[in-house]
Amino acid sequence: MKGYVIGLDYGSDSVRAVLIDSSNGEEIASKVHWYKRWAEQQYCNPSINQFRQHPLDHIEGLEITIKAVVSQSKVNPSDVKGICIDTTGSSPVPVTKDGTPLALVDGFTENPNAMMVLWKDHTAITEAERINELGATWGGEDFTKYVGGIYSSEWFWAKIAHVVKEDKGVENHAYTWMEHCDLMTYLLIEDKDLTTFKRSRCAAGHKAMWHESWGGLPPKEFLEQLDHYLADLRDRLYNETFTSDQVAGQLSKEWADKLGLTTDTIIAVGTFDAHSGAVGAKINEHALVRVMGTSTCDIMVATDKDIDGKTIKGICGQVNGSVIPGLVGLEAGQSAFGDLLAWFKNVLDWPIDNLVMTSNILSEQQKADLKNEIENDFIRKLSDAAEAIPLSESIPTALDWINGRRTPDADQNLKSAISNLSLGSKAPHIFKALVNAICFGSKKIADRFKEEGVQIDSVIGIGGVARKSSYIMQTLANVMNMPIKVAASDQAPALGAAIYAAVASGIYSNVVEASAHMGSAFEAEYYPKEDTIDAFGNLMDSYTELGEFIESSIKKK
């Protein structure tokens, strides 16, 4: 069946829509919208790792981007067969009984606790620790075993427990909570009923301890020991979950009119960006797909036979159908990847922003030109200088835990560190150490999969870092001692969402078939340089030693 589909991909800073020809995966139109409130860091407090986003940023972005691609493409609206939404996660949002985000209700419009709690918000460390303590001691089923055995402060229950402990107003007015991908899907459909709405298997399984073996979410008896509110909330959530090849509903008349589409357009069940990105990159068994942006998500799929009843320790979950229905989706990742390099850039930017840009020596136009030149060339020139430093030279050792550690073995209390500094350590040396650190953290994840019996035959990189930085990708290939292919698509998660939409709307019978026709080609492949393997092995030993020292020091406090 000929038709077009739309993938809507919500990232940390922006949302992008792509309109795709379902017959071949060709991108017909695309549009990116940057969140204006988030750009001003409203409702955030980085000093305590509080990162909140206003739902209006997302609702406005939805309308702007989809309207734009429909208009640009000039396709017949009736030929747009389906839409699927992917988002970051876990990013829960408090909502009223009719599904209205609490931040849109009078009295809560400027309350950070009524906002979406972004994936990178780590204010719930204490609550996550309590979940892990209870999971280890309460004597019943271990509800953390399918999320790597450690529940993270980045996830659903811990974040909700923290918010309601801090804000009784939100506790009293939030009827229930929805993951970001579920909320945006719910807003688009016609028949809105929270009791029957199809929640994302991906979100529930990887972040909310949902599993079919214990009948869905953890039971009230377990949640009651964490917080009475969580036990009550359990009755207002869900038991069943659904994969993203399923139909969530039809596009509502209200949104069809806003977007220039018809109510015949199918809305698929929502998902997370990394999982749809893996589908967009044609993931298959034994392939590790690395979604590399501000953080990373590392995605694999396996058969039940491959897993053989094991639970993989220290990862972010194993969930049947979270990536490809019929296969077990495995997720790991790093809390900071591009974010670590962005932090260093911000450090180096300080004297420019606070001395050069505030001086009277330069005109406003000169300042704007200088700022533009810095933004365009800063990382590239730093990368070139770092790459030119031979591995035989004394290089600092750094840790990538600037926003805690996601995997292996989640611990958001951990901090980054740099050692082996000397008077000869210049900015490129430190930058090289940071690039090495994010690559060493990546190898730790791959090593954990292998230790747990999960075979890795190939590595695929997607995302902005993969496509823009040959230096990082070559370092990663050297460190992992494996070839790494880079997906050609600029918008692999949005493309993957479009692939789900193509299946939900009946254009293809399954995700594997749709991905084969629509998935991204590959534009580059990096091979490890044999003469660097030993040197990087020694540097990684230093990374491991520094990590063990920092981890033991923090645990002693």
Mind listing the pLDDT tens digit for each residue in 400-430? 999 899 999 999 889 999 999 999 999 999 9
| Mean pLDDT value across residues 212-222 | 95
Beta strands in 173-292 (DSSP E): 176-179, 247-250, 266-268, 271-272, 287-292
Q: What is the pLDDT of residue 424?
A: 94
Q: What is the pLDDT of residue 448?
A: 96
**Position 167, amino acid:** D
- For residue 285, give Cα distances in angstroms to 74, 316, 328, 503: 38, 18, 10, 20
Which of 27-31, 294-298, 452-456 is most confident?
A: 27-31
Helix pair 427-451, 470-480: axis angle to 10 deg: 40
Q: What is the average pLDDT score of the chain?
A: 95
* Percent of the chain whose predicted confidence (pLDDT) is above 90: 89
In sequence order, which residues have a C-beta less than 8 Å from that of residue 370 and are 6 or more positions away? 352, 356, 362
Whether 214 has a pLDDT exceeding 70, the answer reads yes
Q: Tens of pLDDT along 423-482?
A: 999 999 999 999 999 999 999 999 999 999 999 999 999 988 898 899 999 999 999 999
Q: Structure tokens of 61?
A: 């972005």
Q: What is the pLDDT of residue 1?
A: 57
Q: What is the pLDDT of residue 297?
A: 92
Q: Structure tokens of 499?
A: 């692939």
CB–CB of 353/346 below 8 Å? no
CB count in 10 Å sphere of residue 332: 28
| Mean pLDDT value across residues 228-249 | 97
**DSSP for 435-466?**
HHHHHHHHHHHHHHHHHTT----EEEEESHHH
Q: What is the pLDDT of residue 94?
A: 98
Whether 552 has a pLDDT exceeding 80, the answer reads yes
Q: What is the pLDDT of residue 86?
A: 98
> pLDDT-derived band of residue 277, with 50, 70 and 90 as boundaries?
very high
Q: What is the pLDDT of residue 134?
A: 93
Longest dimension (CA), the chain: 69
Choice between 179 and 2, residue whose per-residue pLDDT is larger: 179
Q: Tens of pLDDT along 129-159?
A: 999 999 888 888 899 999 999 999 999 999 9
| Mean pLDDT value across residues 322-348 | 95
**Position 163, amino acid:** V
Residue 518: enclosing H or E segment and its boundaries?
helix 511-518
Q: What is the pLDDT of residue 557?
A: 66
Q: What is the pLDDT of residue 56?
A: 98
